[in-house]
Amino acid sequence: MLSPSASYLCIDYMIAAIIQARTSSTRLHNKVFADIEGSPLISHVVDRVSRSRLIEKIIIATTKNSHDDTLEEYAINNNIAVFRGDENDVLLRFFGAAKQYDVTTIARITADDPFKDPQVIDLVIRSFLDYRVDFAYNNHPPTFPEGLDVEVFSYEALAQAVRDSFNAFEREHVTQYFYRNPNRFKQINVSNFENLSDLRWTIDSQEDLDMAREVYSKLYQNGEIFYMRDILKLLKRYPHIANINKDVKRSALYNK
C-alpha cells in the first residue's frame, strides 16, 4: 500500500500532455479531423486538455509519414508544440517528444477521445505526484468510462522502457512495459467511486462519432467545456444516446 508523500509543490516539474495522433486510422479514416460542432476532433481534445490546472504544455506527437503533414500544420497554425516520430514505435515517439521539450512528467492522451475530462486528468496527476510513483493511471482495472483514460509517468520511467523493452506490442502501446513490470515501477491505479467502465466514450467507428456528435449538440457551448458529470446527467435524461454505439466492439487491450 502506497503512502502519500510530502507536498510536491516545491519540486521543479515540467508536466506535459503528449497527445498521440495520426490520420491513418483503419476503421475511421482521418477521424482526428472529423467535424464536431464546427471544429475538428483534435481541436476539442486539445481544448479540453488545456483546461487542466496541472498540465503546463501540450505536445502533439504524430508520425513522420507524409499523410500526417496535416497534423503538423494544424499544430503550427494553432501554436501547439509538435513532434514527429516513428509510426509503429510509439514508445520511442513519446520519448523523443519528451526529450525535445524537456518534459519531466508525461500525461499520455489519445486523440480519439472527445470527452477527456481535465478534472480526471488532474486527479491522476495529483496521485502521481502525491504518492511519488513512477506510473499512475485510471484504467487498470478500468472504472471510468472508456475514453477518460489517463496515464501519467516520469521521464525516467519512459527512458527505462525505451532502453529495456524489445517487444513490438510494448513499443506500439507505450505503457504496456510498465504494466508488465510492476516490480520495476512503483505504480498506482486511481479508481472512480462508481464503476462506469461499461460506458463507451471514445471514437473508433462511425457509431462512436455519431454518439459524440449527439452529446456535443446538446452540451457544447463555444468557449466552455462540459464534464463527466454533465454527460452522465445527459445520458440519464436521454438514455438512447448511450445506445448509439453500445454494440461497437471494444479493444481487447481495454478489457484486459
What's the pLDDT tens digit per position in 137-157?
Answer: 999 999 999 999 999 999 999
Q: Which residue has the cell 475538428?
A: 40
Report yes or no: 165 and 213 within 8 Å, Cβ to Cβ. Answer: no
Percent of the chain with pLDDT over 70: 93
pLDDT digits (tens, 9 = 90+) for 23-54: 998 789 999 999 999 999 999 999 999 999 99
Question: What φ, ψ does residue 54 adopt, rounded to 5°?
Answer: -110, -25
> Which domains are assigned to the chain?
15-201 (3.90.550.10)
Q: Pull the grid cell for residue 220.
A: 457544447
What's the predicted TM-score (pTM) here? 0.93
